[in-house]
Structure 1
């Protein structure tokens, strides 16, 4: 990955703003403006991956997010995972390691990415 300077990043952002005013959904795929937009976006993405990396959420954060999205209380999650509410509390408070079975259930039933579970 090429190291992009701060100056190049700022210039790319300025150019992106200009291009977004000129490009629309109707712009042909082989348009020089659309190709330039893609190149400028790549420069910005490379810079931001280095300087502003987005970290994976923790497993607890993901479990709590899914509980919120699915409107689950701890007792509901316990039922879903076929365990006790106190065990769920131990998992969420970091007092107990998650078992392989629970990890699989989190992946299948809450659609939590395996990479997040294994971190």
Structure 2
């Protein structure tokens, strides 16, 4: 697989992808479908190298990111962490410090690194 190293190459790949996509899935050959897969992987690799998402720097930020990743609403997260919705709300709004049981639940249920928890709690 070739690699994209600059924006002009990325734009050319995206243009080719768009051309193949407009044909419709029923109108592309096996070769074109294989090419489309390779182009998409090239574009994805380039995008990941350019668009770096900074990791959260706070406990609340980490919990919010995990909520997004797991597609959880706040009341669903509270249930998962075995806390009341009110307690979770207080913690998320900075009005209550997280206790050890809460941090343990975040570690176990959300798979948040223990070192991160110790540094940011």
TM range (shorter): 0.5 to 0.7
Answering whether residue 36 of structure 2 is matched by residue 37 of structure 1, we say: yes
1:85 CA displacement: 3.9
Q: Report the counterpart of residue 18 of structure 2 in structure 1.
A: 17
CA contact (8 A) 1:4 1:46 kept: no
Where in structure 1 are there 5+ consecutive unaligned residues? none
Q: RMSD between aligned alpha carbons?
A: 3.9
TM-score by length of 1: 0.58
The residue number in structure 2 matching 1:90 is 91
- 1:67 and 2:66 equivalent? no
Contiguous gaps of at least 5 residues in structure 2: 117-121
Report the count of equivalent residues.
103
Q: Does 1:103 align with 2:104?
A: no
**Greater helix fraction, Structure 1 or Structure 2:** 2
Give the TM-score taking structure 2 as reference length: 0.58
Cα deviation for residue 19 of structure 1 reads 0.8
